[in-house]
Amino acid sequence: MIKIGVQKRENLSGGPANFFQRLIDEINENKYAKIVGTKNLLQDISLYSSVANRINFKQHVVRIDGIYFDKKEHSGNNETLNKRIFKTIETAKGVIFQSNFSKNLVEAHYGDINIPKVTILNGAPLRVIKSKKNKKKIIVCSANWRAHKRLGEIISVVRGLRSELDCELIVLGDVGSFHKCAHDFVTFIGEVDNALVFKYLERADLFLHLAWLDPCPNSVIEAISCGVPVVCSNQGGTPEIVNQTGCGRVAMCDDKIDYGNLVDLYNPPSPDIDEIIRVSIYVLNNSNLILSKMDRSPIDIKLVAKRYVEFLEEMVFN
């Protein structure tokens, strides 16, 4: 059994923190490997999220969330921020990507990565799928809300759906004040504990995710883990999750984008709302058929954790 040095959860935030905790818990519970701290002298290999935060005395693997390619640099200087990620790749024994989109995005800016690399979707515990008997269809969306998550467009889709069927929208996550205007069909829940997110998902008939150029959103993984069909846009890594699990449909609502260049990330294009409405109506009317054919194994945290350990073992012994 190998010893894997994993950085502390408090050194991460948001989706990466939640995923790493799930990963660690699953590895420990199934005894796939022994998890230790990154300063442990007896570790065989370290696993980092995007950036190795110290000089390594042991070999390491890096899991890449994405890189900085926003031309307006809302998060800071792209070159400075990417330099730390690229340095971690340069010194890594191997790289794990969340999606093929993430791999293509990174290599478009970094160049070809000529060390062992693998794509493994994020994962979550699979939950018992509860039957839905909602007269009014419940649509849920969840995100760390920023402009490229396109909450306004989600609200527009649900407004359009209401002319075809009785439905409401539940918004999870802090939206600030910009979108928090009065809609009789929208309920803004705000920030909730991760465990409570599943309480809302278990009631949902549809999860709507229109984020632009999202590598592998944990919110979509969580929805599918509850057996909630997803409708997403055709850009980013989200279509890979939907297509691999068969749990939902991809709306061909966005034009292709050259993400090898910088993009105006916080000023995303408007998707084809009518196309999203059309696909959403199909999913809502055929949810039982979709769920009967879905395969949640690609996002099963048990299998995801096993794949992580197998790749890390390969790096240790080869």
Q: Tell whether 262 and 146 lie within a shared domain.
A: yes
Q: Tell whether 158 and 94 lie within a shared domain.
A: no
How high is the pLDDT of residue 166?
97
Q: Tell whether 70 and 179 lie within a shared domain.
A: no
In the block, residue with structure tokens 């879905």: 294
At 225, which CATH number? 3.40.50.2000
Q: Tell whether 155 and 189 lie within a shared domain.
A: yes
Amino acid at 279: V
How high is the pLDDT of residue 15?
78
How high is the pLDDT of residue 55?
61
The answer to whether residue 216 is domain-embedded is: yes
Q: Tell whether 106 and 173 lie within a shared domain.
A: no
Contact, 153 vs 270, CB < 8 A?
yes
Alpha carbon distances (Å) from 115 to 62, 205, 220: 11, 42, 29
- DSSP H helices, 138-206, are 151-161, 194-201
The answer to whether residue 129 is domain-embedded is: no
How high is the pLDDT of residue 177?
66
Q: Tell whether 37 and 68 lie within a shared domain.
A: yes
Read off the pTM. 0.95
How high is the pLDDT of residue 227?
97
Counted domains in the chain: 2
Q: Tell whether 214 and 113 lie within a shared domain.
A: no
Domain assignment of residue 150, given as a range = 137-299
Q: Tell whether 113 and 146 lie within a shared domain.
A: no
| Token pair in block for residue 110 | 């970094």
Q: Tell whether 114 and 159 lie within a shared domain.
A: no
What residues of the chain score a pLDDT lower than 70?
A: 9-11, 54-57, 177-182
The answer to whether residue 189 is domain-embedded is: yes
Tens digits of residue pLDDT in 172-187: 999 886 556 668 999 9
